[in-house]
Chains A and B, each alone.
Chain A
Amino acid sequence: MKTLRDTWLIFERSMWLTLRNPVWIIVGLIQPILYLTLFGPLLKSIAESTPGFPPGGAFNVFVPGLLIQISLFGAAFVGFGLISEMRSGVVERMRVTPLSRFAMLFGRALRDVVILDVQGLLLVVIALPFGLKIDPAGLTVALALLSLIGLTVAPVSYAFALLLKSEDALGPLLITMSLPLLLLSGILLPLSLAPDWLQTLGKINPFSHAVDAIRALFNGHFGDPSVGFGVVLMAILAILALSWASRAFGRSAA
């Protein structure tokens, strides 16, 4: 009960601070929108003429990748906000209260998930006129999967922020981690077009399974094995990330 209440308090405060400057939610969408509008159309003819291109049309293949992009380049950078909260002393102040350590993390991560889902939904709506055809039930499950991705990526970013305590160290680390994860998810072009060795690397990357799952969900293929696998995999990763980061919150002498 107390943990729930604490989580709500931290969520409320973080969300309030985010909404003071809602323009950042839109700024985070600028990149994927540019990809959608300026790169997406190129895929159309490729999708039709290339053997091995996944089914469902170019945008049904491309938009799920963009959702991974906003999580890897959006939620992954929430640690920067935490560093400035550490610098202003807010984190330390709250560590000398009865506030649950898990709530310190989870309240913030839930805020990040809500922002991520809102961005994801906006992106999907913007993609509809380009030819994205979507199964509504599939979209709902896809957003739930996106939430799990957020619950994996945001805590990892927070844990690194607590360990490194400096933007200068956090930035390069996050970029170095995000970019290969992003490319190995096959977001620009599907990995089904890749040579074997690259496909193997892709299979090791959990986010590529999340992309496969979201693609299947957009097409309404709930029974596709990639859906169950993607959801279970991301749920396990979310639990691991949350428990690691919440321990970092407990330990750090922020």
Chain B
Amino acid sequence: MATERPLGTMIRTRGLRKTFGKRNAQVEAVKGVDLDVRGGEIFGFLGPNGAGKTTTLRMLATLIPPTAGEATVAGIDLLRQPAQVRQQIGYVAQGGGSDPLMTGRGELVIQARLFGMSRKSAEQRANEVLEMLELSDAAGRTTGTYSGGMRRRLDIGLGIVHRPKLLFLDEPTTGLDPQARANLWDEVRKLRDAGTTVFLTTHYLEEADALCDRLAIIDHGSIVAEGTPIELKRAIAGDVVTLGIGEHPRALALLRAEPYVREANDADADGLLRLYVDDGDRALPQLLRLLDAAGISPQTIALSRPSLDDVFLRQTGRSLRESAA
């Protein structure tokens, strides 16, 4: 498969807003979202349930009209030409979209034909997709007999059968067991590697961390942080190095003089000294060499990284793990 990476911006929104309800009981689900999704990346939209993730995704996928703001999707004005946007995108809803009485192949063929393919090329393409998603053996069975993971793979297949530039996935792995989830992540990475831009929503920290090239964290309808998972976590306070060294003014002075050490706190009651460093992987060996050269040998040394939950906590004052539960 060709690994061509479309450059440029695949989604651009400014002040995208959605208000539901009548005048007397309005709910502002999305409060002015600015997004820039680059071509060829997996972009994640992370937030707790009810944060406005799905509403934003449904606006971008032409299902609901925005209340205000502007958006360009796959280079096309979303508000003026939603029909043209539909030609370029694939959409996989959280609950899926296959009829339990249709066969997997039947659904893929009709979906391809809805995008204008002839019956013959639709059948060819359906077989290709079935093979890619390892569904060939189940192709002739009705989707009602599929396992959760198989049905999810078919949903993805329905989203990509017409080779869209951009694929929207709403909570793609909710309800899947860990193995099916890992399997699906691989499929999504394969799509990205083949040049498809993927925009997904998730409330799983691990998914945002492991799968997404970049992500935006959304809470109460507003984006609170945006960047690569590594950038976001690093922006917090860097990595944390804990040294079991006791009260040691000389060591503290030495460490504070290092350029990569942002902050070094005095040892706590347990004699543990905490350092905040920019890049723990690189800092650790340097720290050890430095201390060794000065004749200081710590009893213990530990490196820990802030998680995306720390990022969420910092931005919202709540833990995503708790709000998602």
Contacts of B64 in A (CB 8 A): 253
Q: When the two chains form their complex, are residues B115 and A98 in contact, meaning their CB atoms are under 8 A apart?
A: yes
Query: Which B residues lie within 8 Å of A92 (CB)?
Result: 63, 93, 97
CA distance A97 to B98 in the complex (A): 14
Choose from A13, A95, A98 the contact partner of B110 (Cβ within 8 Å).
Answer: A13
Query: For A16, A88, A97, which residue has the most chain B Cβ atoms within 10 angstroms?
Result: A97
Q: Is the CB of B111 within 8 A of A97?
A: yes
Closest B residue to A95 using CB positions: B63
Contact at A9–B99, with CB atoms within 8 Å?
Answer: no
Q: Are the CB atoms of B89 and A96 closer together than 8 Å?
A: yes
Do B114 and A253 touch across chains, with their CB atoms under 8 A apart?
no
The complex places the Cα of A17 from the Cα of B102 at a distance, in Å, of 7
Question: 1/0 per residue A228-251: CB within 8 Å of B?
Answer: 000000000000000000000000
Tell me how far the C-beta of A20 lies from the nearest C-beta in chain B, rounded to whole angstroms. Answer: 6
Q: Is the CB of B86 within 8 A of A98?
A: yes
Interface residue? A85 (CB, 8 A): yes
**Could you tell me if B114 and A94 are in contact, using CB atoms closer than 8 angstroms?**
yes
Is B83 touching A98 in the complex (CB atoms < 8 A)?
A: yes
Partner of B98, one of A13, A88, A99: A88
> Contact: A89 with B96, CB < 8 Å?
yes
Across the interface, do A88 and B99 meet the contact criterion of CB distance under 8 Å?
yes
Could you say which residues of chain A place their CB within 8 Å of the CB of B99? 17, 85, 88, 90
B115 contacts A97, C-beta separation under 8 Å: yes
In the complex, the answer to whether A93 meets B110 with C-beta atoms within 8 Å is no
Contact of B97 among A17, A89, A253 (CB under 8 A): A89
Closest residue of chain B to A97 (Cβ to Cβ) is B114
A212 within 8 A of B: no
A253 touching B113 by the CB < 8 A rule?
Answer: no
Per-residue CB contact flags for chain B residues 100-121 toward chain A (1 = under 8 Å, else 0) read 1110001000110111100000
What residues on A are CB-neighbors of B276 within 8 Å? none
Query: 8 Å CB contacts to B: which residues of A92-128?
Result: 92-99
Contact B91 A89 (CB under 8 A): no
A93, B97: Cβ atoms closer than 8 Å: yes
Structural contact, B114 and A90, CB atoms closer than 8 A = no
Residue pair A17, B101 in contact (C-beta under 8 Å): yes
Given contacts A17-B99, A88-B96, contact A96 B110 (CB under 8 A): no
The distance from the CB of A83 to the nearest CB of chain B, in whole angstroms, is 13
In the bound complex, how far is the Cα of B114 from the Cα of A98, in angstroms? 7
- Asked if B62 is an interface residue, CB under 8 A from chain A, the answer is yes
User: Among B63, B86, B100, B158, which residue has its beta carbon within 8 angstroms of that of A253?
Assistant: B63
* CB atoms of B93 and A97 under 8 A apart: no
Q: Looking across the interface, which residue of chain A has its beta carbon closest to that of B94?
A: A89
Closest chain B residue to A87, Cβ basis: B95
Among all A-B residue pairs, the 5 with the closest Cβ atoms: A93-B97, A89-B97, A96-B91, A97-B114, A89-B95
Other 13 A-B pairs with CB < 8 A, given A89-B93, A89-B95: A9-B110, A9-B113, A16-B106, A17-B102, A88-B97, A88-B99, A89-B96, A90-B97, A92-B93, A93-B98, A96-B91, A97-B86, A253-B58
